[in-house]
Structure 1
Amino acid sequence: MPRRTHRKSRNGCLECKRRHVKCDEKQPICSNCTVSERVCDYGTRFITAAPRAPLVQSASAAPTSVPRASPDSSPAAFADQPVNMLHVELFHNLYTQTHATFRISMSMPWIAQIITHSITTPYLVNEMLAFSALHLSTTRPPQREFYRYHAAQLQTQALAIFKDSNPTVTQETCIPLFLFSSLLGIHMLCDTLIYRENDFVQFLDRFVHYLRLHHGVRTILGQAWPMLRGSLLQPAFEIGMALYKLDGPLGPECENLLNRVVAAKLTKDLTDTYRRAIEALQSCLNVAEKADEQHASINAVVAWPVLISLDFSDLLEQRRPEALVILAHYAVLLHRFRDSWVLGGSGRFVIEEVTRYLGEEWDGWLRWPGEELHC
């Protein structure tokens, strides 16, 4: 009697194996888990077992980028599979809800071209969907873990595609590269602030990791600035440069902080690093105070980590008390806009934890952040 052909998927996801159903082995999320809205996990042993396929792939992709064929990867098989409704939901949420958080006006004459650049760039599409999933994880508490899981999966996929494609900066790629860098940075900042797990040491480690990764991505764009200034993003750049240019004196809180840093008689390099971080914070405070809408104020909140130097992140990693005090002053902005999903009440957490970590010796340095908690 001939041996019966094996019909089960050998490398299927753990959820399909648990349910004893055939898995089509699509990664990072198989069709069964997409339709049933289950958490799809292949386990760490499959991370490098097969090439990753982009969730959204451009039609002009080279043949070598096509994933390894599986028994169900024929054109006919794909035609029988359902549309990934999760991705449709995330895309709809992004352009109807999430974008409003950052005051992106659909009436801008160049927004249609921005969308065109977005939907034709696989790594950017995946990151956009990831950010939308992060947003939904905060607005739909019963499905928090479901959307947070897919946010992480989609972001990992975006980074993998970005690394594999190794894009060079050209007139054609500079806009999607800039958008990817910006959105990835905001996503990582939000995830760090929202899901801090009430562990201050872990939070600091994640915050430093975010600063370094975002700085690394921004470095790629160094040669793109001339191209971007001459692109359809030029109006946004001109507005941003004008907003965050500190052309006046420091406010009383930042001036007091800088005076304390100078009086501490630190090395010149340390003092200069702290001075730049404080001046960047003042520019963000100015923008937040002048903004007539909360959306624009949130932009000021996410700008400070972009403006500070990588040296400052090293000082945070070393737990330098002056760096932690400056971080607590930045947390005042987080606390002022605590009602935003982007910040998740992180301001109070940072201020209280820094105060507890440094002890009474630093109460004078932290007087203003502490007072802000009672406003």
Structure 2
Amino acid sequence: MPPRRSHTKSRAGCQQCKTRRKKCDETGPPCMNCSPRNLDCKYPGTGFQHSHWSDQAQEIRQAQDENPTPPGKPSGDSSTKRMRELGLMHHWCLKTYRSFSPELSDIFQNYTVQLAMNHEFLMDSLLAFTCLHIAAEGTEFVPRSASILDDALRYQERALPAFRAKLVQISSSNCEALLLCSMIMMAFAAVSPFFDATNDSETNKDSETGHTSLTSIFFFVKGIHSVIESSQPWLDKSPLNSAIQLYPKEYWTASPPTGSAIPPELRSLCDHTSLQSREIYARAILMLENCSERDKGMTLAWVVEVGEAFVSLVQEKEPLALLIYICWGALIGRSKDSWWETLAGQTVVKRLKSLVSIEDEETSVVLNWASERIASEKS
């Protein structure tokens, strides 16, 4: 009996390749089949799609192919690369692990590193996020920042395909690494538009690109939900149990506290919307009012809990949805304990307010409140 041929079909290919019955190389988004055709490259079950950061990483790879590093140069030296990654890991263990909730600091400092030793996609996402942290420490952008941002892109681009493939094969052996990776990638997606804005290139000024990069955080929120829903029994028994304890429903639906920081004009604007979307907006506003003066973790949790119906309105650039999201940015931008939340919130306010037309006094009041809020935090 002739030996059986090894399996060569793509098991985790993009939707375009599956539709066209082409073998996907699974390196995207975008994959090598979709990239030359400028197709909308998406992968089933993950929510990941073509992004501005993918474009930048592809340009870096093309530049490397056209101008290969001569032998003997530091970037081609494996020992130099190893020392650089040891330096990144040292920075993570010394500083970057504090970027998340204080209650989870031990998990991110120790347990995450242990898991990363056995899951390369987690290690790459950890290193990518650390690169952004190092770049953020020098916001004046000294020359090393350009290089460290390139490294961040390369690590993130390398982590995505493996992470995406594992996300459709969640098991007891990888669910912890997937959950931690999705949390780190969510933070990466939230803060990365800040560096686009700082670089101030023509591409980054494009409103469509800016909107997409600022809402990409929601794709990773879906990843968090997917991991928790698929592996709840395993996670309940793991050290990550505290990381999946979401706020009770009554926290979000209670009457908002007196003197909520959210401008009351938001509710006036909500009353003028269609009945179909009014309930969605009212729920999102109530949740934001309830988290505005509570613990800081609840403000971050809002973006996870607000729901897909509201997310769809943000992605469709509905004015009130953008205004509510801007208010979230103003609240999270007040954080003095988390560098990435501060930068992410300030960038959301600055970049999205240009997409909102000021057609009434209420809208103007809300935008001015958000701008003044992040200005006062910076000072």
When normalised by structure 1's length, the TM-score is: 0.67
Matched, 1:33 2:31: no
Taking the aligned partners of 2:263 and 2:80, their CA distance within structure 1 comes to 60
In structure 2, the CA distance between the partners of 1:98 and 1:300, relative to structure 1 (3 Å rule), is farther
1:249 maps to 255
Deviation sequence 1:144-182 (CA, Å, 0-9, x none): 111111111101111122234566323332211111111
Deviation sequence 1:299-323 (CA, Å, 0-9, x none): 4454332222223232223221111
1:26 maps to none
Q: CA contact under 8 A between 1:90 and 1:133: conserved in structure 2?
A: yes
CA RMSD of aligned residues (A): 3.6
1:22 maps to 71
2:315 maps to 317
**Which has the larger Rg?**
1
Taking the aligned partners of 2:125 and 2:270, their CA distance within structure 1 comes to 42
2:233 maps to 226
Q: CA contact under 8 A between 2:172 and 2:234: conserved in structure 1?
A: yes
Percent of matched pairs sharing the same residue: 17
1:170 maps to 171
SS of the equivalent of 1:170 reads coil
TM alignment of 1:1-375, pairs within 5 A: 21-22=70-71, 32-33=74-75, 35=77, 84-104=82-102, 108=106, 112-140=110-138, 141-142=141-142, 143-165=144-166, 168-196=169-197, 197=200, 199=205, 200-216=207-223, 218-238=225-245, 240-241=246-247, 245-246=251-252, 248-251=254-257, 252=260, 254=262, 256-257=264-265, 259-268=267-276, 270-287=277-294, 290=295, 297=296, 299-337=297-335, 341-343=339-341, 345=343, 347=345, 350-351=348-349, 355-371=353-369, 373-374=371-372
How many angstroms does 1:103 deviate by?
4.2
Deviation sequence 1:84-118 (CA, Å, 0-9, x none): 11111111111101112324468858964443223
- 2:128 is matched by which residue type in structure 1? A
Deviation sequence 1:122-162 (CA, Å, 0-9, x none): 11111101110111111143211111111111011111222
- 2:229 is matched by which residue type in structure 1? G
SS of the equivalent of 1:169 reads coil
Deviation sequence 1:44-70 (CA, Å, 0-9, x none): xxxxxxxxxxxxxxxxxxxxxxxxxxx
Q: CA contact under 8 A between 2:125 and 2:159: conserved in structure 1?
A: yes
Taking the aligned partners of 2:230 and 2:210, their CA distance within structure 1 comes to 32
Give the length in aligned residue pairs.
Answer: 302
Taking the aligned partners of 2:350 and 2:317, their CA distance within structure 1 comes to 16
Taking the aligned partners of 1:247 and 1:260, their CA distance within structure 2 comes to 19
When normalised by structure 2's length, the TM-score is: 0.67
Q: CA contact under 8 A between 2:319 and 2:356: conserved in structure 1?
A: yes
Q: Please, which moves more after superposition, 320-329 or 253-262?
A: 253-262
In structure 2, the CA distance between the partners of 1:364 and 1:149, relative to structure 1 (3 Å rule), is same
Taking the aligned partners of 1:359 and 1:100, their CA distance within structure 2 comes to 38
Taking the aligned partners of 1:172 and 1:121, their CA distance within structure 2 comes to 10
- 2:192 is matched by which residue type in structure 1? D
Taking the aligned partners of 2:109 and 2:223, their CA distance within structure 1 comes to 27
Taking the aligned partners of 1:14 and 1:204, their CA distance within structure 2 comes to 27
Q: CA contact under 8 A between 2:131 and 2:149: conserved in structure 1?
A: yes
Q: Please, which moves more after superposition, 121-130 or 200-209?
A: 200-209
Q: CA contact under 8 A between 2:128 and 2:155: conserved in structure 1?
A: yes
- 1:33 is matched by which residue type in structure 2? S
Deviation sequence 1:208-250 (CA, Å, 0-9, x none): 3332354256424422123212322223444x53599325312
Q: CA contact under 8 A between 1:185 and 1:214: conserved in structure 2?
A: yes
In structure 2, the CA distance between the partners of 1:362 and 1:152, relative to structure 1 (3 Å rule), is farther
- 1:149 is matched by which residue type in structure 2? D
